């Protein structure tokens, strides 16, 4: 089974690997959501995503960059 929306840390690591030159501080939530949905390892309902979830993933990505 793949990652779900609640797997913010794992999703952030995958996004970092797939988009190494991206600054997550400048990323819009709409783009972030599309990138997550495009991950092969993602397996969750696209409609179960809200701003808080995307923010958690974005914050995890930012934390990994430090």
Structural domain boundaries of the chain? 8-65
What is the pLDDT at residue 8? Answer: 97
Report the predicted TM-score, pTM, of the whole model to 2 decimal places. Answer: 0.93
C-alpha separations of 23 from 61, 62, 64 in Å? 9, 8, 12
Specify the CATH architecture of the domain 8-65.
Orthogonal Bundle (1.10)
- What mean pLDDT do residues 24-41 have? 96
Dig out the tokens for 63 from the structure.
């934390």
User: Is residue 1 pLDDT above 80, yes or no?
Assistant: no
Going by pLDDT thresholds of 50, 70 and 90, the confidence category of residue 44 is very high
């Amino acid at each position: 089974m793949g990652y779900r929306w609640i797997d913010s840390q794992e999703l952030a690591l995958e996004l970092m690997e797939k988009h190494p030159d991206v600054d997550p501080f400048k990323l819009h939530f709409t783009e972030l959501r599309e990138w997550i949905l495009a991950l092969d390892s993602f397996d969750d309902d696209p409609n179960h995503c809200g701003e808080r979830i995307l923010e958690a993933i974005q914050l995890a990505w930012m934390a990994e960059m430090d």
